[in-house]
Amino acid sequence: MRRQQLTAMLTAERNRLQQAHSAANRRGIQTVIRFLERQRQAIAEAIEKHLRANASLHEVSELLQTVTGVRAVVAGTVLALLPELGRLSGRQAAALVGVAPYDRKSGDWDGRSHIFGGRTEVRCALYMATLSAVRWDPYLRAFYQRLIKRGKEKKVALTACIRKLVVMLNAMVKTRTPWSPPCPNLE
């Protein structure tokens, strides 16, 4: 959480730097930015040290990082804020992250499905990982493109990919198996 707070403060200070008119203000803001960057680096190193010191956390972190798009920050976020991963069903994991679709129905009225709730910080981290995975992982890219071709909006398709990623990560942790894409259909 502290790393996320520092990242938010860095973003705010960088935005202030763009608006600063006087040289004194710019120097002061740059000093704060350097300090926040050092603090964020120190937190990242502390997280890495903690993961290396705990064998089971290190193993799960390495396992998660076998997926395209998931690196140390995402793995650390998932481990810290979703400790239940691997002990849940895929649906439960998706609901905890907040990417499970819920139907909105009342009597004869039938509305669109929406996602809501869940752990925002985990969802945000997995969103960034999914953006990378949809671009570079052939399996998730094909899934995303299939949804787009079926007429889904890009945002809806990306949310479906996040859900698929959560389910995959949950299964990987549950079985202690690194990521390997499914075999393509041999038609």
Q: What sign for the dihedral angle of Cα 76, 79, 81, 86?
A: positive
pLDDT 10s digits, 56-114: 999 999 999 999 999 999 999 999 999 999 999 999 999 999 998 776 666 666 667 77
Q: For residues 13 and 144, what is the distance between their CA atoms, to the nearest angstrom?
A: 35
- Amino acid, res. 144: Y
Q: Kindly list the domain boundaries of the chain, sorted by start residue.
A: 1-53, 64-180
pLDDT digits (tens, 9 = 90+) for 5-59: 999 999 999 999 999 999 999 999 999 999 999 999 999 999 889 988 999 999 9
Residue 12 has a pLDDT of 97
**Closest to 147 in 3D by CA, of 164, 168, 170:** 164
**How far apart (Å, rounded) are the C-alpha atoms in residues 37 and 51?**
21
- pLDDT band of residue 117 (cuts 50, 70, 90) is confident
Q: Is the pLDDT of residue 184 over 90?
A: no
SS3 for 25?
helix
Please, which contacts does 104-111 make with residues 24 or more away whose CB atoms are closer than 8 Å?
A: none
Q: 187 falls in which pLDDT band (50, 70, 90)?
A: very low
